[in-house]
Structure 1
Amino acid sequence: MGAKRPLIAVLTGAGISTDSGIPDYRGPKGLWQRDPKAQELVTIGPYLADPEVRRRSWLMRRDVGALGAEPNAGHLALVALERSGLPVRVLTQNVDGLHQRSGLPERKVLELHGTAQRVQCVRCRVRGPMARALERVAAGEPDPVCEECGGVLKPCTVMFGEALDPVVLDQAEAIAKACDLFVAVGTLLQVHPVAALPQLALEAGARLVIVNGEPTPYDPVAHEVIREPISLALPALVRRIIAGEFAGDSGEG
């Protein structure tokens, strides 16, 4: 593990939020399985080109109810890990903001795919709260436009067909290379470039633990694979980490 101060990196995907009532995309009961056409609702090309896709997309955001979701035991376990004094960084593919709502400091959460808590105009780039846009949908605007310039509104998320913010990706890669323990939770590790982060950690000498209900490409090289439900498995894993089973001596976060 080396003499450097141990660092724990936790990559979270949709699976950590399903117990909060937010459906995942690719799992056996995920959104894509129930409605294969739903992927176009979060794909930038169709979204910009077709008003009907945008109308369906706004209804999906309304029905998913992510703004009203509450953190679950998995999120709270990571708060306990951070408050133990161990240095922790959470890299999340989720856009629901539940890590911050659960009590993790903003500076320790890196949102790889942006946030669904806010919207942005694709023309003038002005931003505003998602709650305000959904209020307009509820009031009868099926495809609310920018109140400043009339442009198309989209969530401040990275849609399919869009590139990740290079600054955010660079930060995530630096954390993966510097960590001693890399924990992947609730993600199938199939979407690049984020799916490359565990490999960077392994190449730098970190241990890899995977907590996921379905197999991932990294299972054969992981030091441990945990198949139990995340809300049960993650609190137990955190207790082991705090006890020193993986990360060794603690340092300041």
Structure 2
Amino acid sequence: MRSEESGLSVQEAAALIRDASALLVCAGAGMGVDSGLPDFRGTEGFWRAYPPYARLGLRFEELADPVHFADDPALAWGFYGHRLALYRQTVPHAGFAVLRRWAEDRPTRVFTSNVDGQFQVAGFAEQDVAEVHGSIHHLQCLADCGQEIWPADEVPEIDETTMRARAPLPSCPGCGALARPNILMFGDWSWDPARSGPGLQKLHEWIRTHRRDLAVVEIGAGTAVPTVRRESELATAASGRLVRINVREPEVRHGRGVGIAEPAAATLQALDDRLRDGVPPPRDR
């Protein structure tokens, strides 16, 4: 996007945010890229982040499958244990602080497909973040013994040459069976939604209350898994205040809104600068 077009889009987007009395942040994997997290876009991108899997010829979709916890738990926990350690070490980028400042001025909620817990680390209250695909920071019993979901207090040790986890692997405190992350994986019929489900229900009740005066800032949510995009488009069906920040897929094809083809952190800061300085009405294109 040319700088002039980008500047005009930021100006228009800031006006949409300024005029809203409530804010919904909808975030996909692209939100974490400026914090140094991989977004797993495409096989080549995934293999650049994890060379051992390139040598094994394993794609992200093949690893993010619950079947491995039964068939090869060291492989499964090698992948998820490494991610858990990575997320625990990651510092949220400055764009998160911008969103927190906005949340101090108006009612704000978060809907995210990310399992990394970065919004909570950045200061958002647990009850204000709806994690549609669950969280890597919580575990469930693979044997489904009835044990409630519990925090992932321990990170397994990983051999980064083979990307396999070393024993002991996380286990259920109730029955001692193998544990798995409380994440919705590909082809996953055993995910326990007991933790995420109530938060999603409360979010949708909140959206209904604020629908006509709501602005949605959607960040880093692509079309390959369109869960976040659908949520943001449905939430803005009444207000038309959709701000879509996406480097590769910024187009707003359904309803009204503004698309910005720039990274998350820089765009959020640019929007914040506009809001602090006052937003002049956008000129005609």
Q: What is the TM-score with the length of structure 1 in the denominator? A: 0.78
- When structure 1 is superposed on structure 2, of 167-176 and 9-18 the one drifting more is 167-176
- Per-residue deviation, residues 28-86 of structure 1 (Å, max 9, x unmatched): 86427875622122223x234422xx322322234331111111112111111112x22
Query: In structure 2, do the counterparts of structure 1 residues 96 and 127 end up closer, same or farther at CA, with 3 Å as the change threshold?
Result: same
Tell me which of 153, 158, 171 is aligned to 2:202. Answer: 171
Query: Which residue of the partner structure matches residue 5 of structure 2?
Result: none
Tell me which of 58, 75, 85 is aligned to 1:56. Answer: 75
Contact between 1:211 and 1:227, CA under 8 Å: does it hold in 2? yes
Query: Which residue of the partner structure matches residue 230 of structure 2?
Result: 196
Contact between 1:189 and 1:216, CA under 8 Å: does it hold in 2? no
Query: In structure 2, do the counterparts of structure 1 residues 87 and 206 end up closer, same or farther at CA, with 3 Å as the change threshold?
Result: farther
Tell me which of 248, 251, 257 is aligned to 1:223. Answer: 257
**What root-mean-square deviation, in Å, do the aligned CA atoms of Structure 1 and Structure 2 show?**
3.4
How many correspondences in the alignment? Answer: 240
Distance 2:222 2:110 in 1: 17
**Structure 2 gaps, min length 5:** 1-15, 281-285
Query: Which residue of the partner structure matches residue 27 of structure 2?
Result: 12
Whose Rg is larger?
2
Distance 1:32 1:201 in 2: 35
Tell me which of 98, 102, 123 is aligned to 1:77. Answer: 98
Superposition deviation, residue 14 in structure 1: 1.1
- Are 1:26 and 2:41 counterparts? yes
- Are 1:96 and 2:116 counterparts? yes
**Structure 1 gaps, min length 5:** 247-253
Query: In structure 2, do the counterparts of structure 1 residues 105 and 145 end up closer, same or farther at CA, with 3 Å as the change threshold?
Result: closer
Question: Any idea what SS the aligned residue of 1:208 has?
Answer: strand
- Per-residue deviation, residues 161-217 of structure 1 (Å, max 9, x unmatched): 347654444334444452521111011144354432123123222311100111157
Q: What is the TM-score with the length of structure 2 in the denominator? A: 0.70
- Are 1:113 and 2:129 counterparts? no
- Could you tell me which amino acid in structure 1 is paired with residue 63 of structure 2? L
Question: Any idea what SS the aligned residue of 2:176 has?
Answer: coil
- Per-residue deviation, residues 97-152 of structure 1 (Å, max 9, x unmatched): 11111112223222222111122213223444424142598983174433542323
